[in-house]
Amino acid sequence: MNIGLLGVAGASVLVASVDWFSKVRSFQWCGRIASRIDTRERAVALTFDDGPNPPYTERVLSALAQRGVRATFFLVGKQVMRFPDTVRHIVEAGHEIGNHSYSHCRLILKHPALIRKEIVLTDRALRSAGVTGEIPFRAPYCRKLFVLPYVLATMNRLHITFDIMSSPADYDGAPAGVVCDYVLRYARPGSIIVLHDGSFRAPSDRSNVVEATRLIIERMTAEGYRFARVRELLSLARAR
């Protein structure tokens, strides 16, 4: 038996296992995490990542306002600094604001001080833009390992992930109807749905997300669902 080949195979399995563990949405080794909520009520949370990103964030806000839906926006600190007026529009419309790091880098294999800085700088930017109350956190790319959960635990921060993201992904330009069909196929009471009004990769146009938002609200409302901000969804049952 070739020892070298066994070593390579073992290393490959280890790398794959670490990669899986770094992005699993419903578990982290310490601290609090919520990927969905245990509830019988037909309520879900609609969340948006990577903004603010005018004009698409404003178009999403308009789509939400047309149906009286409140959502949660996980914002990137650098974008907040660029577009504070858009953040104020989100706040004024009654939506919830979350922290999605300052630079949108993968917060794995990073020093605790850097991770804390990414979170704190974004909190400060959000406060300067008028955000009040508790600020939930979501890791970029939903990536974590050991250090990020530890830092969040020391800061007593809840990590909000999700249980539904469309495949093919909305951020890769998937048509609105495809995104909506995927969400409707897998949505269940207590789901946390993620869409992307912001852009950190091509294509940068988020018109598909605006239309998908309209379709998701229309079809899920017809199926008896209501939409809640994350903190409201959390109040329905124990996070898991």
Beta bridge partners of 137: 99, 159
Residues annotated as catalytic are 49, 196
Identify the pLDDT of residue 28: 81
- Please give the share of the chain, as a percent, with pLDDT higher than 90: 80
Tens of pLDDT, residue by residue over 124-183, are 999 999 999 999 999 999 989 899 999 999 999 999 999 999 999 999 999 999 999 999
Q: Is residue 1 part of a domain?
A: no
pLDDT digits (tens, 9 = 90+) for 65-118: 999 999 999 999 999 999 999 999 999 999 999 999 999 999 999 999 999 999
Q: What's the confidence (pLDDT) of residue 204?
A: 79
* 19 domain-assigned: no
Query: In which domain, by residue range, is 164 found?
Result: 26-234
Mean local confidence (pLDDT), 1-18: 45
Q: Is the pLDDT of residue 20 over 60?
A: no
Q: What is the mean pLDDT of residues 32-44?
A: 94
pLDDT band at 31 (very low <50, low <70, confident <90, very high): confident
Q: How many domains does the chain have?
A: 1
Amino acid at site 120? V
Residue pair 117/151 in contact by the 8 Å Cβ criterion: no
The pLDDT value recorded for residue 203 is: 58
155 occurs within a structural domain: yes
Residue 156 forms part of a structural domain? yes
CATH number, position 127:
3.20.20.370
Position 10 pLDDT exceeds 50: no
3-state helix, strand, coil in the chain (%, to 5): 45, 15, 40
Q: What is the pTM of this model?
A: 0.90
In a domain, 129, yes or no: yes
> Whole-angstrom Cα distance, residue 141 to residue 101?
11
Residue type, 168: P
Q: Is residue 3 part of a domain?
A: no
In angstroms, what CA-CA distances link 142 with 1, 108, 138, 148? Answer: 39, 10, 7, 11
Assign 26 a pLDDT band (cuts: 50, 70, 90): confident
Within-domain flag for 120:
yes
Whether 4 is covered by a domain: the verdict is no
